[in-house]
Amino acid sequence: MIRANDPKLTSWVEVPEGSDFPIQNLPFGIYKIEGQQPRVCTAIGEHIADLYVLAEHGFFKDLDIDQEVFEQDYLNDFMALGKAKTSAVRNRLSEILDNDLEEWDASELASFFLKPQKDVEMLLPVKVGDYTDFYSSREHATNVGTMFRDPENALLPNWLHLPVGYHGRASSIVVSGTPIQRPVGQQKPNDADAPVFGPSRLLDFELEMGFVIGQPTQLGQSISTAEAEDYIFGMVVFNDWSARDIQKWEYVPLGPFLAKSFASTISPWIVTMDALDPFRTDGPEQDPEVLPYLKYEGQKNYDIHLEVGIQGENMKAPHIVCRSNFKYMYWNMSQQLAHHTVNGCNVNVGDICASGTISGPTPDSYGSMLEISWRGSKPVAMPDGSERKFIQDGDTVTMRAHCEKDGVRIGFGDTSGKILPARNTNS
């Protein structure tokens, strides 16, 4: 067991019961306050710990890390140090914050490096160079195939043989809390002879998780399933907003474009694979047998509980419309990365690969409004008396994710975005 994951550890920093950020988590992010450069931080309870200040006071001196790596706009340079050093930093943070370890007692310096989370602004944690979106939930793919094609042949012939994916838009990935403007584009209503232009009427969320690349490869190099975890720094919650009506008209023959590229929202915290290690689990049985380069050994799925809430402007709290789990994924992250690079495609530090919509086996675990409302035929009743088929202007969609075992909860914090009306256009 990694010492920092020990469920018996407690911190001298107060951690409220049910917090996403106990001492066993220690995710990484980037924060800023007025008058100061952005800095690398971790979360502990309701506070952030400033790693630059800790470095100034010599807490990482023996790890041979330049303290300037902790005063950056993004985590890219920190991740590029390699897992040996980033894991050492997490382990040192655990020692610094441990209630019982006296060797690294930092409690007297608390006022220097701890700040309430409510008093800081969390930024986009990584500079995303490239973004790939997979389509790896069998339940989701089956639901969509049933709706739009032959229910008896819901999955396309290739789906059980490879992790289907497409290259997405990196520039429009935003951090939680960023408002999202309703997209506009072409749509072709069923009763129309020609397409029309205007705001999307079928705006949707997609419940996904993303993994962040922490080490680069060279062009021509491939990554095996056995090596994949060496290249994955950690995970984020990922809301891949989707305009279903725009998508329906544009996606044949080359797939999603404007329907997806307007925005994707990620959590500000990257939870490390080290912190998630205790929550490994078996994945679904894969039949037919996969090709050799996609075979793997060990537990490569993770038991991560997921939920989505929608809060209209007249509601006091989000209404939960979905509870799912990352363990349902048919294709795991190691297989996705092996497939992504098998042709020699290189990856870079900060690249993000998203899972695709995560749907479970029951309607309350479907990961999109397209499925939850079944193309709008089953509206969802809301506490204020309204109903939702898709997302309305003024709605805030919040996703949450956490693991729980042996009394330890490892969470990702809120991932939210409020939908603003479409821009005025006469195009």
* pLDDT tens digit at each of 427 positions of the chain: 789 999 999 999 999 999 999 999 999 999 999 999 999 999 999 999 999 999 999 999 999 999 999 999 999 999 999 999 999 999 999 999 999 876 767 888 899 999 999 999 999 999 999 999 999 999 999 999 999 888 888 999 999 999 999 999 999 999 999 999 999 999 999 899 999 999 999 999 999 999 999 999 999 999 999 999 999 999 999 999 999 999 999 999 999 999 999 999 999 999 999 999 999 999 999 999 999 999 999 999 999 999 999 999 999 999 999 999 999 999 999 999 999 999 999 999 999 999 999 999 999 999 999 999 999 999 999 999 999 999 999 999 999 999 999 999 999 999 999 999 999 766 5
Which residue's entry shows tokens 């997302």? 391
Burial of residue 341 (CB within 10 Å: 0-12, 13-18, 19+) is: buried
User: Which of 385, 205, 163 is closest to 291 using CA atoms?
Assistant: 163
Residue 222 near residue 237, CB atoms below 8 Å: no
DSSP run (H or E) holding 369: helix 369-372
* Closest of 21, 5, 6, 29 to residue 233, by C-alpha: 29
406 Ramachandran zone, left/alpha/beta (phi>0; psi -120 to 50): left
| Active-site residue, 140 included | yes
Domains and CATH numbers, the chain: 3-122 (2.30.30.230), 131-420 (3.90.850.10)
Side-chain half-sphere exposure of 139, counting CA atoms within 13 A = 22
Instruction: Indicate which residue of 47, 140, 339, 340 is catalytic.
Output: 140
Query: How distant is the alpha carbon of residue 330 from its chain centre?
Result: 17
214 contacts 76 by C-beta, under 8 angstroms: no
Amino acid, single-letter form, for residue 342: V
Q: What is the DSSP letter of 131?
A: E
